[in-house]
Amino acid sequence: MFTGIVAEQGSVVSLSPNTDGDGAVLVVTAPAAGAALEPGGSIAVNGVCLTATRIEDGTISMDVMGETLARTTTGDLQAGQNVNLERCVPAAGRLDGHVVQGHVDGVVTLLERESLGSWDRLRFAVPARLARYIAEKGSIAVDGVSLTVTAVSPADAGEHWFEVGLIPTTLAETGLGALEPGGRVNLEVDVLAKYAERLLAFTRSPQ
């Protein structure tokens, strides 16, 4: 489990497709996270939970399945690109963000951003299948960053969107500070909303 509090920004060394054409090996620099990580440990890369397979000279290698490449922005990563990194939270650690699983629900696009002095407003397009789980003042993970939703589109909107505000720390210490309109990011909605919907579906169905 993660909290959406980015520990550091790493840099992509390489993303090499496997010889069988299914999946790839991702290598990133992670001086801080790599020092405390062992092979088999979990790390979130732009909000995607991956397993470290090799740690060497400040870099972490991870196997990425074809399913992950297809459903997240991981397959778009290029050498030299910065990525948000977070180690899994220890059982006795603080939950400074919110409950984040590292299981991406979809990829969304930045529609617009506006600088409002010391902070920025970002609006993302979101498909209807995910918009139902997003509520104003609720929590959401964007590229692995725990954020509070500041505004949402009406439930009957033809095209759905949500907005978040980025404080100076988030702008400076995560990749969202450099994200431009048209950029794609990984989105994980609040897992509690998904469980609530599932429970209600069983409550309403005949037994």
pLDDT band at 158 (very low <50, low <70, confident <90, very high): very high
Q: How many CB atoms lie within 10 A of CB 71?
A: 17
Mean pLDDT for the chain overall: 93
pTM of the predicted structure, to 2 decimals:
0.92
Q: Please state, in angstroms and as integers, the Cα–Cα distance from residue 26 to each residue in 148, 156, 160, following that order.
A: 30, 40, 33
171, amino acid identity: L
The predicted pLDDT at position 206 comes to 64
Domains, the chain = 8-87 (2.40.30.20), 106-199 (2.40.30.20)
| Whether the predicted pLDDT of 37 surpasses 80 | yes
The predicted pLDDT at position 154 comes to 96
| Whether the predicted pLDDT of 76 surpasses 70 | yes
pLDDT band at 14 (very low <50, low <70, confident <90, very high): very high
Nearest to 146 by CA among 52, 50, 5: 5
